[in-house]
Amino acid sequence: MHQFTENLLAGIAITDILDILIVAYIFYKVLGFIRDSRAEQLLKGVLVLLAVAFLSDILQLHVLNFIMRGTLAVGVLALIILFQPELRRALERMGRGSLFRIKGDPLDKEKAKDVVAEFVEAAEDMAAERTGALIVFERDTSLTDIIESGTVINADVSAQMIENIFYKGSPLHDGAMIVRGTKLHAAGCVLPLTDNMEIPKSLGTRHRAGIGISEKSDALVLIVSEETGIITLVEDGVLERYLDGKTLEKRLLSLYLNDAQYDSSRVKALFTRNRRDD
């Protein structure tokens, strides 16, 4: 037994260990992708088809087996079509990884505090007055195509400016505001709506648009509900709701200071109320 173990270990090279680790990591990431998307339900359907094909072959159910084989033959192409949004999102995440990311220098801490304070003040005021707002913070993924759908304002960040833009009488209040760096870059922008069918019907167009842009980019989205005044942040399609001023300040400071402590895995979907938000 000792001799067998020595021979086995002698036949394992460093490259073999590296190969196993890489494959294990890929499987881990694929399983994580499946768990976090609608792929989990579709994967169950694929497994059922494979099981039926296997059993039909064992039991010699020739007609059923022929149908299953034909279905599986085009299954790969069908899966690519079905998973197109998820695959695109996964590839974008790879491109935004730390290995490929080009980050700008973080802001001076005091400057960041001043900028964040304006957003927090505006969010709290709009929440108290039930003024709806949709603010998108651009990160590494360019939102130029989204900006082109609105009006470029390129204004300094101020609570008064933000509140004026989202005031119900403003011509730009229905669209989204795009924040680029420390500038209110554009307003009245049109965002793509999410295709996620699992989102509660209590969430209206504003939230669906915020989720949609967060699914197609690495943007952080701030939403104030017009109906309830609830403050929400969205990242990677996941909502963190019922935020107060202190929590919002912490999140935005993490954004502006490029703080690695802001981890989207800590953001939980909170849907504990059945009231309709728009």
Tell the residue number behind the tokens 């909170």, with chain if given: 270
Residue 45, beta-bridge partner list:
none
List the Cα angle 236/237/238 in 5-degree steps: 95
Residues of the chain with CATH 3.40.1700.10: 109-266
pLDDT at 12 over 60: yes
**CA–CA separation, 113 vs 253, rounded Å?**
7
Three-state DSSP class for residue 130: coil
**CA–CA separation, 217 vs 154, rounded Å?**
21
Residue 238, beta-bridge partner list:
235
Q: If you average pLDDT over residues 171-198, what whole number do you get?
A: 93
pTM for the whole structure: 0.65
Tell the residue number behind the tokens 């299953």, with chain if given: 68
pLDDT at 102 over 90: no
Look at domain 109-266 and name its CATH class. alpha beta
Q: If you average pLDDT over residues 39-44, what whole number do you get?
A: 66
Give the dihedral of Cα atoms 159, 160, 162, 163; nearest 10 deg: 110
Q: If you average pLDDT over residues 6-19, what whole number do you get?
A: 72
94 pLDDT band, cuts 50/70/90, is low
Buried b (16+ CB within 10 A) or exposed e, 255-276: bbbeeeebeeeebeeeeeeeee
